[in-house]
Each structure stands twice: as C-alpha cells, then as structure tokens.
C-alpha cells in the first residue's frame, strides 16, 4: 500500500492586474517591479474570498480525479488569509463542495504552508486510518495588502491550488523525504493582521497595523541562506542525488531570489519551475498552483522526482521530496 499524490488542480481569480495597471494606484513602474522580482502581472480576487478560491480548486481536482466529494476523509487548507479565525477555511470548503464525511482544519505557516500541510497530510495517511484527503493552499493576499505601500503591494497575488492524496494498491509512495523548520525569533520579519488584546480591562490602548508588513531585504537574505541548507539536507537524508531531481517547485517569491537559491544549492536554474511572472507571490498557494500548471503542460512527467521547497513568514521553511 502506498500513499500517492494522484491529482492536482488550481484556480486563479479572473481579474489580471498588470504592473502598468498598478501605476494608476502607486508610484511604481513595470521596469522596477519586473527587474527586481520577475513579476509582470498577478490575479486579484474582486468578490471571492479564500474559501471560494480553495473550493474552486477543490472542485477542479475532484472533476479531474473522478472521485466524489463524499469520499474525502479530510480537507486541509494552508492559508495566512483565512475567511475568518473561526470557522476554519477548510470547514467552509467542506460545505461548498459537499464533502460531508471529511474532517477539516487550516494550517498557518505563511508561504511554507503548503509544504507543512502536505507533510502533515502524508503522515495522517500513513496512519492507515484514511484513504483520501485534499490538501489545498489558498490565499487572498490582496485583502491584507496596504495598497498605498508600493514596497509590498506589487509583490503579491491571489489564487489556490491543491492535491488529492490517495491510498493505492501499488507499493510506490509519493513521499520520499522531508525537512521542516521554523525560527520564531524572527517572527517580526513578516506580520499581517496582528491583533493586540483590546478589551474594557486593557490599560494601554495600542493601534497596530492590520496590513502586511515585511522586512523585504531580511526575508531575501534569510531565504538565500536557509533554503539551500534545507535542499542540501533533504537530499543528504534521502537515497537520491541532486541529479535525480527532475524539477524544483519552489515558493514563487522573487525570480532573482530563486536564481540565487539555484546557484547556492548547485541545482541548474533550468530545473526550477517558474510562474511568478503571471501570478506574483501567492504565498501558500504558489507551490500547488505551479505544480498543477507544470503537470498540465507536460513539463512534469509521471514518475519524476520533484523537490518542493517553501519559505516565508514565521519564519518558516522546509522541503518535501516527492515522486509523482
Ligand atoms: N516601485 C518603485 N520603487 C520602489 C518600489 C516599487 N514598487 N518598492 C520600493 N521601491 C524603492 C524603495 O523606496 C527604495 O528607494 P530608495 O533607494 O530611494 O530608498 C528602492 O526602491 C530600493 O528598495 P529596496 O526595498 O531596498 O529594494 P530591494 O532591492 O530590496 O527589493 C524586494 C525589494 C523586491 C521586496 C526584495 O527585497 C524581495 O523580494 N525580498 C523578498 C521578499 C519576499 O519574498 N517576501 C515574501 C515572503 S513569503 C511570505 O511569507 C508571505
């Protein structure tokens, strides 16, 4: 019995906003954004929330796989932009797709969220208690962005992607190795929707920004240092060499950053999947969106070894070595 990633899917909201479009709202330019980040446009939700994007991705996965929503044992949604603190976004997705048997919860690990969620899901499946589960990364980053702040507003986009895990009769397993990390001492490097205790008994009334605030340079430096380390560690802890890895599906934060990670980890940049030009940084959704696009375009072939690597707020980072 093996645990396999059998189906992938994604959904992007219809509105595409170009760098030139953004110049109407802030002092920026296509040249600055594209040169520093590799981003040309991003999809932005207008009246859909995170659970809507996640549900559309889920429906596409179910339609592709041919299984019904009632067969799902669990739904995990990785997100830093949930519809609400309660209920979880995963519970709303359950209702929207009709997965009445599934237990549901969200995982919060910012841009590493999908890697964290997929790792957790693989272990749930390995318990032997479950046969089918959905893991989705979904974000509406546009609702936590300060649209007056050009240093962050140009970077992010909205979207959702996910995978279906199934127990199969084949002894082959999709999950070859994992390597997850966090460093809470650097939690202030990326903060969004911070809430202080404010009640009638609070002495000091503080007003903290709701919007996403980020130490861009700090995160860039962290990723260049820590992501090659996790890549080296996961390869060392597996039976594979870097040459055996067909593709790196990394969190799409910045093209220049991915080039630096490729160089430092000694994996040719041609092996790095890329969609940041059209999606921007969709946080926990970026890896499953890219994975599905690469499978759909036949870039990724069945049986290939894929390295997923995520990094972001928390700080969190980590990798999964999977075989499709
Ligand atoms: N348009 C034009 N000019 C701009 C813009 C903009 N959109 N944004 C900033 N600038 C200006 C700045 O004001 C500054 O001007 P100054 O020199 O006159 O002061 C200049 O450009 C340089 O700004 P820096 O912030 O130093 O630019 P940098 O080269 O560091 O690039 C960037 C910024 C793109 C944010 C980069 O640091 C980066 O990509 N960091 C990684 C961030 C990241 O990946 N975050 C997501 C983490 S994932 C998660 O957990 C959600």
Kindly state whether residues 270 and 290 are assigned to the same domain: yes
**Is the CB of residue 114 less than 8 Å from the CB of residue 135?**
yes
> Angle, nearest 10°, between helix axes 30-37 and 255-265?
20
pLDDT digits (tens, 9 = 90+) for 57-73: 999 999 999 999 999 99
Kindly state whether residues 196 and 265 are assigned to the same domain: yes
What's the average model confidence in pLDDT over 109-137? 97
The whole-number pLDDT of residue 283 equals 98
What is the SS3 assignment for 138?
strand
Kindly state whether residues 195 and 63 are assigned to the same domain: no
What is the chain's Cα-based Rg? 19
The whole-number pLDDT of residue 209 equals 80
User: Among all chains, which residue has been given the structure tokens 């009632």?
Assistant: 70
Kindly state whether residues 164 and 57 are assigned to the same domain: yes
Domain of residue 290, residue span: 175-323
Structure tokens at 88: 């979880």
The whole-number pLDDT of residue 112 equals 98
Whether residue 152 has its Cβ less than 6 Å from ligand 1: no
pLDDT at 75 over 90: yes
Select from 119, 136, 168 the last residue of a domain: 168
Report the alpha-carbon distance of residue 170 to residue 164 in Å, rounded: 16
Q: How confident is the prediction for the chain on average, in pLDDT?
A: 96
Distance from residue 220's CA to the centre of ligand 1 (Å): 10
Kindly state whether residues 103 and 250 are assigned to the same domain: no
Whether residue 186 has its Cβ less than 6 Å from ligand 1: no
Distance from residue 308's CA to the centre of ligand 1 (Å): 25
Query: What CATH number is associated with residue 280?
Result: 3.40.47.10
Residue whose C-alpha is closest to residue 118's, from 96, 91, 137: 137
Distance from residue 210's CA to the centre of ligand 1 (Å): 20
> Of 38, 151, 311, which is best to mutate to test ligand 1, by the most ligand atoms within 8 angstroms of its C-beta?
151
Please list the active-site residues: 111, 251, 281
- Asked whether the ipTM of the predicted complex exceeds the cut of 0.90, the reply is yes
pLDDT digits (tens, 9 = 90+) for 77-93: 999 999 999 999 999 99
Whether residue 149 has its Cβ less than 6 Å from ligand 1: no
Q: Residue 180's Cα: distance from chain center in Å?
A: 14
Whether residue 117 has its Cβ less than 6 Å from ligand 1: no
Report the alpha-carbon distance of residue 117 to residue 163 in Å, rounded: 11
- Residue 316 alpha carbon, nearest atom of ligand 1: 50
Residue 163: pLDDT band (50, 70, 90) is: very high
Q: Which residues, 6 or more positions from 100, have their beta carbon under 8 angstroms from its beta carbon?
A: 69, 70, 94
Whether residue 150 has its Cβ less than 6 Å from ligand 1: yes
Q: Residue 226's Cα: distance from chain center in Å?
A: 18
Number of domains the chain contains: 2
pLDDT digits (tens, 9 = 90+) for 271-309: 999 999 999 999 999 999 999 999 999 999 999 999 999
Whether residue 261 has its Cβ less than 6 Å from ligand 1: no
C-alpha angle with apex 292: 16 to 220, nearest 5 degrees? 70
What's the average model confidence in pLDDT over 251-263? 97
201 secondary structure, DSSP code: T
Report which protein residue has its CA nearest ligand 1's atom 7. Answer: 150
Cβ density class 7-19: b for 16+ within 10 Å, e for less: bbbbbbbeeebeb
Select from 168, 199, 231 the last residue of a domain: 168
Kindly state whether residues 306 and 191 are assigned to the same domain: yes
pLDDT at 204 over 80: no
Residue 171: pLDDT band (50, 70, 90) is: confident
Which residues face 17 on adjacent strands? 42
- Residue 28 alpha carbon, nearest atom of ligand 1: 1
Distance from residue 259's CA to the centre of ligand 1 (Å): 17
Give the H or E element holding residue 5.
Answer: strand 2-11
pLDDT digits (tens, 9 = 90+) for 205-247: 777 788 999 999 999 999 999 999 999 999 999 999 999 999 9
Q: Helices marked H in the chain — which ranges?
A: 19-22, 30-37, 50-65, 89-97, 113-126, 150-153, 216-236, 255-265, 276-279, 286-296
Whether residue 79 has its Cβ less than 6 Å from ligand 1: no
Report which protein residue has its CA nearest ligand 1's atom 31. Answer: 36
Kindly state whether residues 143 and 267 are assigned to the same domain: no
Whether residue 32 has its Cβ less than 6 Å from ligand 1: yes
Kindly state whether residues 157 and 256 are assigned to the same domain: no
The whole-number pLDDT of residue 169 equals 85
Kindly state whether residues 232 and 123 are assigned to the same domain: no
Give backbone dihedrals phi and psi of 139, rounded to 5 degrees, phi first. -145, 140
Kindly state whether residues 185 and 314 are assigned to the same domain: yes
Kindly state whether residues 109 and 248 are assigned to the same domain: no
């Amino acid at each position: 019995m093996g645990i396999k990633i059998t189906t992938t899917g994604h959904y992007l909201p219809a509105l595409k906003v170009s760098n030139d479009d953004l110049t109407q709202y802030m002092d920026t330019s296509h040249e600055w954004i594209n040169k520093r980040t590799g981003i040309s446009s991003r999809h932005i939700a207008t009246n859909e929330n995170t659970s809507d994007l996640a549900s559309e991705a889920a429906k596409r996965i179910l339609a592709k796989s041919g299984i019904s929503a009632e067969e799902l044992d669990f739904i995990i949604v990785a997100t830093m932009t949930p519809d609400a603190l309660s209920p979880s976004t995963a519970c709303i997705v359950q209702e929207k797709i009709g997965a009445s048997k599934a237990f549901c919860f969200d995982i919060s690990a910012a841009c590493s969220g999908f890697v964290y969620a997929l790792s957790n899901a693989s272990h749930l499946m390995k318990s032997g208690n479950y046969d089918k589960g959905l893991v989705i990364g979904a974000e509406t980053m546009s609702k936590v962005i300060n649209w007056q702040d050009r240093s962050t507003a140009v970077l992010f986009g909205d979207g959702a992607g996910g995978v279906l895990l199934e127990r199969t009769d084949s002894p082959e397993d999709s999950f070859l190795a994992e390597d997850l990390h966090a460093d809470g001492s650097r939690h202030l490097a990326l903060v969004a929707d911070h809430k202080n205790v404010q009640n009638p008994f609070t002495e000091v009334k503080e007003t903290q920004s709701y919007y996403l605030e980020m130490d861009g340079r700090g995160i860039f430096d962290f990723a260049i240092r820590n992501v090659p380390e996790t890549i080296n560690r996961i390869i060392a802890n597996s039976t594979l060499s870097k040459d055996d890895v067909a593709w790196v599906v990394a969190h799409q934060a910045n093209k220049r950053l991915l080039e630096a990670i490729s160089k430092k980890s000694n994996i040719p940049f041609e092996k790095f999947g890329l969609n940041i030009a059209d999606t921007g940084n969709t946080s926990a959704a970026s890896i499953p969106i890219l994975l599905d696009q690469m499978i759909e375009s036949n870039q990724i072939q069945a049986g290939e070894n894929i390295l997923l690597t995520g990094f972001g707020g928390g700080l969190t980072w980590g990798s999964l070595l999977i075989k499709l």
